[in-house]
Homo-oligomer: A and B are copies of this chain.
Amino acid sequence: MKKDKVTIYDISKKLNISAATVSRALNNNPKISEKTRALVAKTATEMNYKQNRLAQALKNGRTNNVGVIVPYINRSFFSSVIRGIEEELTPQGYHIIICQSHEEAENEIEQLNALLNTQIDGIFMSVSKTTQNTDHIKKAMEEQTPVVFFDRKIDVEGVSSVVLDDFKAGFMATEHLIDQGCKKIAHLSGDINLEIYKNRYEGYKADLQKYDIEYKDELVINTSSKIESGMQAIDELWKLKDKPDAIFSAGDYAALGAIQELKQRGIKIPEEVCVVGFSNEPFTKYMELPITSVDQTPLMMGKIAAQVFLEQVKGDQALSIEKKVVLSPELFIRDSSSRKILNLSDGV
């Protein structure tokens, strides 16, 4: 049995004033005498009054809760984005509810509906790999619940998004490899169904073109974000007559697998082959051979997504227009691709 909570009625009775007055005093309503406000405030703390946000939410339709849906919360990237969102929104009085889709569209839909039921004020999400249909997103929009995509988005009319410029990232990574003197650059791509992987791949292709390097299909291997997958890729690539002298992987785990397999074969990194990964996973910088990787600035991504949301809800409803933010990637150059002596900026 919950201990009885004190309500504004309790304090109104004690002070012989109306509950309405108490409410107004507590909310710093301008048309209330300074005297009563002070009195109410004082007795409120005395009686250990705490405003019931539930009743408040029921009344004004806003819960000050937002939902976040990600594939898995314990992935370094996602948990960092969530941290960014949290740090931006908590000072504004919001609470963050987290859900996992486990990379299943079905779960994603279920979680989203559950969130809508809770009368959430907004939803942040990174779509699952299996999500194709956008009906659930449209449903949220119909209910006027703002949705903000981050990292992985789907095009839906009126939905804002904050993503990385994956094209540029692919371009930068490839350019860096060319800059190291590499000519035959292989690409370990991810699931092309996801926009992010497609863009990284396109960036890679575009940069090759810029430097008049012939694009070869055989140098592009489809991988999953697993270490073994990177190993298998090397296995395949090294069957070629014309072997690559650089690897640009769309994921750090595949890059790591590639490195392990290359070492296994006695191939020197970066002298014979340069390797660049993607995501700047924490482990990349801790290796004996630290791995060059593209950083997705997850904290920043979370903070900006939060800001986009705040603009959306604070602005007049008429102003709440779709906003597309594209963040610039940062390349952290480390030993796995540093043939030149410049070992650039890289905090521990």
Number of copies of this chain in the oligomer?
A: 2
128-166 of chain A: CB within 8 A of chain B: 142-144
Query: CA separation between A115 and B65, bound complex, in Å?
Result: 11
A319, CB-defined interface residue at 8 Å: no
Query: CA separation between A260 and B99, bound complex, in Å?
Result: 38
A317, CB-defined interface residue at 8 Å: yes
The answer to whether residues A83 and B100 also contact, given A2-B144, A114-B95, A143-B2 and a CB cut-off of 8 A, is yes
- Are A74 and B79 neighbours in the complex by a CB distance under 8 Å? yes
Who on chain B is nearest to A253 by CB? B286
Question: Chain B CB within 10 Å — which of A5, A98, A288 has the most?
Answer: A98
Query: CA separation between A286 and B259, bound complex, in Å?
Result: 11
The tally of residues in A whose CB lies under 8 Å from a CB in B reads 57
The answer to whether residues A286 and B65 also contact, given A3-B144, A95-B118 and a CB cut-off of 8 A, is no
- Are B95 and A96 neighbours in the complex by a CB distance under 8 Å? no
- Are B3 and A117 neighbours in the complex by a CB distance under 8 Å? no
Who on chain B is nearest to A299 by CB? B74
- Are A97 and B65 neighbours in the complex by a CB distance under 8 Å? yes
A256, CB-defined interface residue at 8 Å: yes
A297, CB-defined interface residue at 8 Å: no
What 10 pairs across the A-B complex have the smallest Cβ distances?
A: A283-B283, A74-B79, A79-B79, A74-B80, A74-B83, A288-B288, A283-B286, A2-B144, A54-B58, A95-B97
Q: A residues engaging B (CB < 8 A)?
A: 1-3, 5, 50-55, 57-58, 61, 63, 65, 72-76, 79-80, 82-83, 86-87, 90, 95-100, 111, 113-119, 142-144, 227-228, 256, 263, 281-283, 286-289, 317, 348
